């Protein structure tokens, strides 16, 4: 049986929003966004039940502990580590559902970091990955790692392998990230359903060159190479029709100096990389304007890539 800190009753953890894929690395690459995310609070119970006590969210979320990603992760963690304890779980969503900014990952990772903090000897981030992936499986039906890993680790990460787990924490580029979230929902399941099972070898070659160029650009601190590499010939063309005005929004970003732009995760949010803060603000407003021409209001986040992953806040 795993030992818990006996004097710890309540604990909260924050987990950041994340931008997955980053144009070049479908299901492999992602980065953490500063200042926006979910907060999950766990409180010890006198019995061994794991229940959702409260969800603060603009949209309804499952209260059933087996269907909610945060509680499902806590349950799996406790079962797997033979933890004899119960918790009430309160979830405060900072992210809209189906926005393409890693909302399900943020809830499950925040819950995981909170429950881990009860352990007399907490697990490390790599040891937490398998539980976080379970959360993605509950939420989406696939255990993709490109939201949960940057959410746990912070920074910009590449999953080189899941089994055995090998995560590369990549050099953070000197760029400002712009994420525009149009007020429409696109579920990851739906956005994955439009993707082909097979791709052309010629497209694979092109995309491999983009990914390799992007990674080299990070290590070389070469923004020209980054700009030339930040392209997606595989996934973006399939998903673009699901997002009203996607190409106009992307073009608006590029016209205002963005180094590149594409879907954030499975969309509908769109991210762009800017050379500096003032260009980022111009890019953000041009992207919002392009969405509004397609009758979509939007929120915007302008942030450096956050070096801080999920962490305890109280």
Q: Which residues of this protein are in contact with ligand HSE, per CB under 6 A? A: 20-21, 26-27, 102, 144, 146-147, 188, 191-192, 265-266
Backbone angles phi, psi at 114, to 5 degrees: -70, -50
Q: Give the C-alpha distances (Å, rounded to integers) separating 6 from 74, 88, 117, 118.
A: 18, 16, 12, 8
Cβ closest to ligand HSE, residue 116 vs residue 147: 147
Between 102 and 182, whose beta carbon lies closer to ligand HSE? 102
Residues 158, 167: contact at Cβ < 8 Å?
yes
Instruction: Give min distance, CB of 171 to ligand HSE, in A.
Output: 22
Q: Report d(CA 16, CA 31) in Å as an integer.
A: 10
* Tokens linked to 295: 């009758």
The residue among 134 and 144 lying less far from ligand HSE, judged by its C-beta, is 144
The string over 161-188, giving b where at least 16 C-beta atoms fall within 10 Å of a residue's C-beta and e elsewhere, is eeeeeebeebebbebbbbbbbbebebeb
Sign of the dihedral through C-alpha 276, 279, 285, 291:
negative
- Residue 41: CB minimum distance to ligand HSE, A: 24
Distance CA 275, CA 138 (A): 37
44 or 238: CB nearest ligand HSE: 238
Active-site residues, by number, are 136, 188
Cβ at position 212, least distance to ligand HSE in Å: 19
Structure tokens of 204?
Answer: 């694979």
> What's the min distance (Å) between Cβ of 124 and ligand HSE?
24
């Amino acid at each position: 049986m795993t030992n818990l800190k006996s004097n710890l009753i309540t604990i909260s953890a924050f987990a950041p929003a994340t931008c997955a894929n980053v144009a070049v690395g479908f299901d492999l690459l992602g980065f953490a966004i500063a200042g926006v995310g979910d907060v999950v609070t766990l409180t010890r119970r006198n019995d061994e039940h794991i229940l959702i006590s409260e969800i603060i969210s603009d949209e309804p979320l499952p209260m059933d502990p087996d269907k909610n990603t945060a509680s499902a992760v806590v349950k799996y963690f406790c079962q797997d580590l033979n933890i004899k304890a119960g918790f009430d779980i309160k979830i405060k969503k900072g992210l809209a559902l189906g926005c393409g900014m890693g909302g399900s990952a943020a809830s499950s990772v925040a819950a995981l970091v909170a429950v881990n903090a009860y352990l007399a000897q907490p697990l490390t981030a790599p040891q937490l990955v398998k539980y976080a992936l379970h959360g993605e499986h509950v939420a989406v039906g696939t255990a993709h790692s490109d939201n949960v890993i940057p959410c746990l680790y912070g920074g910009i990460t590449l999953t080189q392998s899941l089994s055995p787990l090998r995560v590369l924490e990549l050099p953070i580029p000197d760029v400002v990230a712009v994420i525009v979230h149009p007020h429409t929902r696109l579920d990851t399941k739906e956005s994955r359903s439009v993707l082909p099972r097979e791709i052309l070898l010629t497209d694979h070659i092109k995309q491999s060159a983009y990914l390799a160029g992007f990674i080299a650009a990070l290590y070389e601190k070469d923004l020209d190479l980054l700009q030339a590499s930040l392209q997606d010939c595989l996934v973006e063309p399939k998903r673009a029709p699901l997002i009203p005005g996607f190409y106009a929004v992307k073009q608006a970003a590029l016209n205002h100096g963005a180094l590149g732009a594409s879907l954030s995760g499975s969309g509908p949010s769109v991210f762009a990389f800017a050379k500096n803060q003032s260009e980022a603000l111009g890019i953000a407003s041009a992207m919002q304007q392009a969405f509004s021409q397609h009758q979509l209001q939007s929120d915007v986040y302008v942030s450096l890539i956050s070096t801080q992953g999920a962490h305890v806040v109280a």
